[in-house]
Chain A
Amino acid sequence: MVNFLLKRFAWGILVLLLVAVITFFLSRVVPADPAAFLAGQNASEATVQKIRAEYGLDRPLTEQFVSYMVGLSKGDLGQSIRTRRSVSTDLAQYLPATLELLLVSFTIYLIASFSLAVTAARHPGGFVDGAIRLLTMVGTGIPVFWLGMALQFMFFYKLHWLPIGARFPIRETAPPVVTGFLIIDSMLAGSPSALLGTLKHLALPALTIVINLLAVGTRLSRAALIQEQSRLYVRTARGKGLGPRVILYKHVLRNALSPILTATTMQFGYMISWVILVEVIFDWPGIGLYAYQSFQVFDYSPVIALAIVSTAGFVLINLLMDILYPIIDPRVQSVGS
């Protein structure tokens, strides 16, 4: 197992390196000039040239690449031309907002999709199953940006229940930053009103992500459960006189977990891609919004760093699943070994 994990870890590092190399050269292929953006309107060519030199953009591409990779090996993700700060500083500031949104959304998603799938699988073909299938089918068809805007329209504009965007009530003072996670920081500050404000602001972006994830996740989990219910051991269990609840929760669920876990991994990947859209729609100050703003001005270093960070997210979640599979289903381990 240790060898297996070490091997996977090494592969992960290689993937990250490849992503860094590919994004570095792809970003340089685009005929853009971030120095012109920085210099502003009416700046002379000499000023633009001075800025290019300041950021090393006037050096040969290979030299820039070597310099970037040397920096990367030391953990230096470069300098953002747009924010004029180091990318690491920016990421440290923006990442907690994204992680908080992702973790809250994913937790709600896991609970909701699992509950809905189990409910649907208990009476396949029944009214409840049909209703869940219909709802999830509708969810699959709604683009994430449209859903976000529709939720804003409904809950902010029409009902005045929830804020249109951002992480915290505008006119109130946010709790002191300890972890960067506002839920935790509000609790550490002992402020129920701050916690409530945080949850209100989380509600719509999280709901947007959850509804989109729920559609595919519930359908896949439901299918896995129903397929598992048709196996012979389930018939045997019934024949032995076990009740449907015991069969479902004690036997079927455990055996169906492997495909559900696979679906969950895929869903996490989707979630990382959707977060850019969701953060832009809701002005959520996380790395998605940071990425969007960086793309707009071809701010090279953040673009490459964000590609590395999101790939690292994928790699980590896959590694985690590789660890979880044998725990959930010992047959996987025996095949692996």
Chain B
Amino acid sequence: MKSLSGIAGTALLLMASAMGVNSASAQDATTFVYADAGEPSTIDPAKANVNWEFTVTRNVYDRLVDFDLDDPSRLLPALATEWKQDGKVWTFKLRDGVTFHDGTPFDANDVKATLDRLLKVGQGQSYLVDDIASVTVVDPKTVQIETKAPTVFLASNLSRIEMMSDEDIAKHGGEAGEAWFSENANGTGPYAFVAWTRGTQIELKRNDKWWGKFPEKPFDRVLDRFVTDGANRARGLEGGEFDLANFVPLDEALRIGSTSGFHLVEGNNLWAWPAIYLNMDIPPTNNKDFRNALVKAFDYNAMVQSFQGKAVVGRGPIPAWFPGSPEKDQPEIKTDLEAAKAALAASGLSNATMKCSVPAGFPEFRFAATILQASAAQIGVTVEIEELPFVEAITAIKTDKSNCFVLGNANLSPQDATKFFSAHYLKGGFFNSGKFEDPALQELIAKLPSVSDPAERAAMLKQASDIVVDSHYIIWPARPVTVVPEPDRIGGYRIDPAEYINARFWELYSK
């Protein structure tokens, strides 16, 4: 027994000796640790479609065009230095002296191979450029892209498309080799891929041959850590283990941002968080007056308060800061119980019951559904809430087993709203879960990209927005401001309006 006690004692001593001052507090100024809310399924730019995948692709690859985060209507040169549109044909002049991380030079063949592959794969962000008909290499530094119909949005949408190497595509592409791109990356971007430790992190190193300009004291090494729990990201950030974190719960973000050694970075990027989609096919939500009653009964103040005031109530699908947004000319949407009761009476429905499927893991979604439940109860409507995994929740409404579905809205294009409308409000759109259809809207969205006059486009966008608002297909409970707590020792973080939450490591620096 003495030996047992001895072993136990040794174990305790070892544990005790392991407890020292946490090494994280002693910061290494050249390494940046980013707490990411998830682990990528792929880092293939042709397939990446969630934030933690973009964390890698956005930093390792470059795009032809960039845009001004403070004014998304202004496009900036990136791998392309000049571009012009002539009807259906766009011509891009490419930057000289750019090389991939493996040393091969970048030219027009890479652009062609990238876009051809992206459209063939048809996943990820390919929908942003699915109107491309063909890509032609004019010379090594000039590429022409022809679209199926004239579109003014091609350049802005290309600001989201990462350029790959045609040599890599030739070598690793094809049915058998596609897997290589899922876990390897060779771009021209500011950071190069080093290693992926499954379940733990992806390591990047700074590309000192990058064509762009780093700030003073950039980070030489970036560790993209997978930290699935929001509370852990918050505590790790506060405790100095991480230098920045995404999707920190709002109350934690506000608290951390107000403590010594931190400040808050605020910005607009969300179109709605959440949005409640109503099923147009099954009763009672297939009744327009009934939907109107729900929109009018919803307690918007409660939702805004849940964001501790860091939110506004949207007047339609498009936020005010988006280029050409009609928001300022649209009437406010607010709670009006009398109008809700009148709309319900007009619907001819009484004691109605409806089911709402909510994707699990998003407290704001659940809260919005609960507010809907309480608001609807005030006009005599019963709402049953079922919280399900995302795919199951969206399947429930698509297969008419549910009357409503809750989702967040953002748009990856800095200028083009038509792709968002196609996905959410047009027939066949993946997120058009309630199966909304309107021929006039379909026509407007189809025509919009061909209109070169911005004023005319804005007018059409207002018409499109009004159609969605007047249909009462969607309840927009709130449009929150995105809030990111940044340590004072870090600088350069900005919120990208065309991403849920971004990490542009090349702009970050240590102070």
Contacts and interface: CB of A to CB of B under 8 A. Distances in A.
Interface of A: 30-34, 36-47, 50-51, 82-85, 90, 93-94, 97, 108, 111-112, 114-115, 118, 149, 152-153, 155-157, 160-172, 174, 196-197, 199-200, 203, 245, 249, 280-281, 283, 285-286, 289-290, 292-293, 295-298
Contacts of B391: 32-34, 36-37, 297-298
8 contacts: A82-B41, A84-B182, A112-B8, A152-B232, A160-B21, A165-B232, A199-B18, A283-B200
B146 interface: no
Interface residues of B, number: 69
B239 interface: yes
B198 A83 contact: yes
B42 interface: yes
B297 to A, nearest CB: 30
The 9 nearest A-B residue pairs measured at CB: A285-B199, A40-B49, A42-B127, A161-B19, A47-B122, A42-B423, A160-B22, A200-B18, A32-B391
A117 B7 CA distance: 16
A163 B124 contact: no
A316 B403 CA distance: 48
Contact of B392 (A30, A169, A203, A245): A30
Contacts of A297: 389, 391
B238 A157 contact: yes
A249 B1 contact: yes
Q: Is the interface of A mostly helix, strand, loop or mixed?
A: helix
Contact of A199 (B14, B123, B126): B14
A277 to B, nearest CB: 11
A41 B41 contact: no
Nearest to B238: A157
Contacts of B431: 41-42
B428 interface: yes
Nearest to B15: A203
Contacts of A165: 227, 232, 236
B223 interface: yes
B241 interface: yes
B455 interface: no
B1 A111 contact: no
Nearest to B178: A84
B5 to A, nearest CB: 7
A94 B198 contact: yes
Interface stretch (B23-31, B59-67, B270-278): B23-31
Nearest to A298: B391
Given A160-B21, A164-B235, A171-B33, A42 B422 contact: yes
Interface string B46-85: 0101100000000000000000000000000000000000
B20 interface: yes
A160 B25 contact: yes
Contact of A171 (B21, B28, B361, B428): B28
Contacts of B318: none
Contact of B33 (A90, A149, A170): A170
B229 A283 contact: yes
Given A47-B123, A157-B235, 7 more contacts: A42-B431, A51-B123, A84-B42, A162-B19, A171-B31, A283-B225, A296-B389
B422 A164 contact: no
Nearest to A93: B198
A157 B239 contact: yes
B362 interface: no
Nearest to A149: B231
A31 B199 contact: no
Contact of A31 (B14, B20, B228, B396): B396
A111 B389 CA distance: 41
B78 to A, nearest CB: 23
Contacts of A245: 1
Given A41-B431, A160-B22, A170 B122 contact: no
B298 to A, nearest CB: 25
A93 B422 CA distance: 41
A296 B41 CA distance: 13
B20 A115 contact: no
A111 B241 contact: no
B19 to A, nearest CB: 4
Contact of A43 (B127, B197, B236, B396): B127
A163 B24 contact: yes
A33 B392 CA distance: 8
B226 interface: yes
A170 B18 contact: no
A203 B395 CA distance: 42
Interface string B1-19: 1001101100100110111
A199 B423 CA distance: 49
B437 to A, nearest CB: 16
Contacts of A42: 127, 419, 422-423, 429-431
A167 B200 contact: yes
B179 interface: yes
B499 interface: no
Given A42-B429, A84-B41, A115-B4, A161 B33 contact: no
Nearest to A107: B11
A283 to B, nearest CB: 5
B122 A160 contact: no
B399 interface: yes
B289 interface: no
B28 A286 contact: no
Contact of B22 (A38, A156, A292, A296): A156
Contacts of A50: 122
Given A160-B25, A164-B239, A170-B33, A38 B392 contact: no
A280 B229 contact: yes
Contact of A156 (B127, B235, B389, B396): B235
Nearest to B47: A40
Interface string B397-427: 0010000000000000000000100110000
Contacts of A37: 390-391
B122 A286 contact: no
B235 A33 contact: no
Given A41-B430, A111-B4, A199-B15, A97 B20 contact: no
B39 interface: yes
B144 to A, nearest CB: 26
A225 B200 CA distance: 44
Nearest to A279: B199
Contact of A45 (B11, B28, B428): B428
B11 A163 contact: no
Contacts of A97: 199
A164 B241 contact: yes
Given A40-B124, A111-B11, A157-B235, A32 B22 contact: no
B198 A285 contact: yes
A31 B25 CA distance: 47
Contact of A38 (B41, B126, B239, B241): B41
Nearest to B5: A115
Contact of A41 (B18, B38, B241, B423): B423
